[in-house]
Every structure is written in structure tokens, then in C-alpha cells.
Chains A and B, each alone.
Chain A
Amino acid sequence: MAAQAEPVLSAERIRKAFGGLEVLSDLSLNAYAGESLALIGPNGAGKTTLFNIIAGAMRASGGRIMFEGRDITRLRPHQRCHLGIARTFQISQPFVDLTVLENVEVAQRFGRLGRDRSGASAGHWLERVGLARWRDAPASSLTLGARKKLELARALATEPRVILLDEVMGGLSPEEVDEVCAIIRELRNEHMAIVIVEHVMRAVMSVADRIVVLHQGRLIADGLPREVASRPEVIEAYLGGALDDAAAG
């Protein structure tokens, strides 16, 4: 569980500007196998933008992305997926005309192990997130909570080494949050590198091995959850009482 010497994924001095507005400035971040890293910060801090840049949906204005020692800054999104980078979307967007199973099949058949079909079946991933009985339902019929789980199943079905989870717990019931937290801990024990963006602080404090705080595109804190949570500047300036309560509770 402790951080190993070599990171699986490194974002090195990432810069991103939209016109004159700089969203990320010189941001560096490492993700390690078997560690779950939570990325927190107020809305507009650049968390989702960073995920987009790592997954290849967006080009950075500067800096580079390294994956297992290889520069992947110029790779297209599907190539990054083949290497083992997966992400979920904050606003879940399943392929609505496909069934739940077919949604996962896309990821399973085109993901990292899709070619040689050595990975687990699409049905396996549905079971793991608890959606097995909806497998033949159209994805459009799922509730918000189920859609979030489908996002997770799809990302996992690509057999990633690094998974970026963008608010997978928003809109879930407390029981469902616990289920997802349990899955995240299992994945960590299977040596996956996990990066979480999450507003549900109870979940963050429960699964994160390390927390980094982003503010206005800069990294302002990096450390163990309780240590970061107790820093007065983090609490007062960016998180209000929420983190304090969660840390205390």
C-alpha cells in the first residue's frame, strides 16, 4: 500500500490555458500502483481538466504525461486506453441505445486486453459493481446511481493499470457509497493505481492513502489524509468545515 519507487503515471509540469485563462499551471503529480490518491479542491480548480489531459481527451498547453516510463503526451485517447489508462465521467454518459452489457462489452473488447481476449468477461464486471440483473436492459433505463456504477464497470472492463474516477459517488446512497469504497479498496489491493476526484468527503477520508489539494490550477498540499485535513490553510481557505468534520468523525 505504501508508495513504490517508480510511479505508474506522472503528470510533469502540466500547463493548460483556455485562451488567456490558465486553468493548470506547472502541475506535477505522480500515481503509484497499489495507492489510491484523492484529488480535491474547489470547483474550477482544474481537476476534471487534468483528467481530460491524462486520458487524452484534451491536449495540454505544456508539460508531458509519462506512463510506465514512456512519454505518452502525443498519444490519442484509444492508444492510452490500450496502455492501461481508464477514466469515468462526472456526468455519466452511457451509450444509451446499447444494452448495459453491450456498454461494458465495448470497453472489454477494445480495452487493454481486448485483442487477445485474456481479460475478464463483460458479465464479470457487471457482477462486480452489482449491475448483473440489468445486463439486458437498455442503458437509457438506468437510474443515476446505476449509471455511475456502469461508468465504473466500463472503466474497469478496459483492464486499466491506472483508473481516474471523476466523482463516481455523487448521487449515490450512503450504502452505495460504501459499496463503491469497498470496490476501490479491492482494486488498490490488486495493485491498480487509483486517482479519485470526489466531493463526498466521507468517502475520500475512507479510501484515500494520500490527498493532494488543487487550487486555481496549482497544487497546494500533498500528504496523508489526516495531515492534509488538519492543515489550517486547507481547511479555512478551500474546504470549510466539511473536511474537518470528516477527519474528526
Chain B
Amino acid sequence: MDMPLPLIIAQIINGLIAGSMYALFASGLTLIWGTMKMLNFAHGEFFMLGGYLVYYFYAVLGLNPAIAALLAVGIVFVLGMLIERVVIQHLLSSPVWQLSTIIATLGISIFLQNVALHIWGPDFQNVPYFINGVANIFGIRIAYQRLLIFGVSVVSISLMWFLLKHTRFGLALRATSQDSDAAQLYGVNVLAVYTLTFGISAALAALAAVMLSPIMGVNPYMGLSPLLKGFVVVILGGLGSFSGAILGGLMLGVIESLGVLYTSTEWGDVIAFGFLVLIIWVRPWGLLGVEERN
């Protein structure tokens, strides 16, 4: 089966754009795993809330899309910190916290889905494009909205990288990830690091949804599929590795969109999970993860 080259290139570009969103979503998940060593099953619902909030501020109230986006991300950031402070923080000190945080975040996930269902109903809601029009780059046509998605993810991932590498908070976060007991003894307020990290993670999920909602629409269950994909990306890249999540996200996006060329869309998940199985067969610790030795 011969494919014309421009089509392949177009699909690679589409894959990178979709992958940049996977990367944004998954970097939030991996940040939580890296710092707090817990899985956040409510991550998809922070995504969903980001989508509904931008729908509300932009499509319903008619605010400027940039302001609507900032409001949506900001609200989810605060909500994330609140949930960490009220629910998660108490569980982390219990001896069975690995299990209790999973159950608690699953509970939060179901709760938030039902809140959305109650407020906005079960139907898909549409969000208009933030910018209309199509760019023509060397004969490849890409909607401005998609270019905007890619631009926003490059900027926000760069900002995250700067935050982690070059700020006081980033240093605290990296020290906490490696040894929270030692970090405390050297003056780091670990509980405050947890709260802020959780908020940032939720905000990253919300930002991904804000950017994707004009393409995907919003509904109460829109967080489920990204959560599964997010876990794939995080495991692919190496649990807790920020750059691994970026690499894994981009790879997954490209593989999915190339796969669509040769098979039908329904096979997308099969290809994604098949790829994951293959990678962890060869490198059980992920692409950029570190092998644990005993």
C-alpha cells in the first residue's frame, strides 16, 4: 500500500499536534507520581472541568478566548490545590496511602463527573474555534486552531521546564521527589510542595482540555480516554520522568496518526497499547525512566 509523501508528512504533523496535548496532560500525571508517588485517577476530571469551564466562559458568556482560557485553568489550579489540601494530604500520612489515594481519587473522579452531568447534562456541547482559518505551509493545510494548540503546548512545556530547573520551587520539588524526609530536614515545606504540585498538575490537564475542546467538544466523560492514554504515555516515557512524558506523548500522537493511514480509526487504541506492550517488553522502566536495582 503506497502512501503519497505529503499525506504522510501531514499526518506526522497532525500526530505531533495531538501528541503535544498528550504530553501536556501526561506531564501533570507524571509530576504527581514523581513527587507524591501516587496515581491520580481524577486527572481526567480536571481535564473535563477545564473543557466545561472554557465552554462556559467562552461559548456561553462570550468572553475573549484568552481570558476564558486563563479563568478555566486558574479555577482548576485552585480546585486542585483545595482537593489536595482537604482530601489527599491526610491520606498521605496513613500507612496504606498507596491504596487510599487511589480510592479517594477514583471517588473524586466519579463525584466530579456527576457534578458536570448535573449542571450541564449528558450531551456533547460544542466550543467554537478560537481562531478560524487554515494555514497553508508548503502545500500542507493546517487549521490555525491546531497551530495554536501546538504553540501553547510548546510555550507551557518550556515554562514548566524552566520552573523545574531554574526556580526555588523547582529545586524544592526535585529534592522532594528524590527524598521527601531529607528535603524536610533541609528546610523544605514538603506539604506545601505537594499542594502546589497537585494544583499545577490539575492546571496542565485543564489547559490541554481548553485547547482541545473546540476540536473534540465537551461532555462529562471526556476525561476517561485521556486518562488511559495519559497512563500509557507516563509508563512509556518512564514513571515520574518529565521529559519522558513529553517524548512519550509526542511518540504516541505520531504513531496513532500514522496508524490511521493504514488502518481505520478504531484501531488507534490497539496500535497505541500494542506499542506500549512492545516498549515495556524491551525497557520495563520506560524510555527515559531509570532502571530500579535492588
Within 8 A of B (CB), among A67-82: 76-78, 81-82
Closest chain A CB from B170 CB (angstroms):
10
Closest chain B CB from A204 CB (angstroms):
24
**Interface-side segment among A7-15, A96-104, A187-195:** A96-104
Q: Which A residues form the contact surface with B (CB < 8 A)?
A: 55-57, 76-78, 81-82, 86-87, 89, 93, 95-98, 102, 105-107, 109-112, 114, 154, 157-158
Residue pairs across A and B with Cβ atoms less than 8 A apart, 11 shown, are A78-B187, A89-B182, A93-B179, A95-B182, A95-B183, A98-B174, A106-B175, A107-B187, A109-B171, A154-B186, A157-B186
Which residue on A lies nearest to B190, using beta carbons? A78
Interface pair A106/B186, CB less than 8 Å apart: yes
Chain A residues with CB under 8 A of B171: 102, 105-106, 109
Q: In whole angstroms, what is the CA distance A89 to B179 when docked?
A: 13
Interface pair B185/A55, CB less than 8 Å apart: yes
Interface pair A87/B185, CB less than 8 Å apart: yes
Interface pair B178/A96, CB less than 8 Å apart: yes
Give chain B's interface residue range (CB within 8 Å of chain A).
10 to 19
Which residue on A lies nearest to B177, using beta carbons? A97
Interface pair B172/A106, CB less than 8 Å apart: yes
Interface pair B179/A81, CB less than 8 Å apart: no
Chain B residues with CB under 8 A of A87: 185
Of A55, A89, A106, A157, the residue contacting B183 (CB under 8 A) is A106
Chain A residues with CB under 8 A of B175: 95, 98, 106
Q: Which of A87, A105, A106 has the most CB of B within 10 A?
A: A106
Closest chain A CB from B243 CB (angstroms):
12
B158 CB-CB contact with A under 8 Å: no
B184 CB-CB contact with A under 8 Å: yes
Of A78, A86, A96, A98, the residue contacting B188 (CB under 8 A) is A78
Chain A residues with CB under 8 A of B184: 56-57, 76-78, 81
Interface pair B186/A158, CB less than 8 Å apart: yes
Closest chain B CB from A190 CB (angstroms):
20
Closest chain B CB from A244 CB (angstroms):
36
Closest chain A CB from B28 CB (angstroms):
20
Q: In whole angstroms, what is the CA distance A96 to B189 when docked?
A: 20
Chain B residues with CB under 8 A of A157: 186
Within 8 A of A (CB), among B159-175: 168, 171-172, 174-175
Closest chain B CB from A158 CB (angstroms):
6
Q: In whole angstroms, what is the CA distance A102 to B183 when docked?
A: 12
Closest chain A CB from B24 CB (angstroms):
23
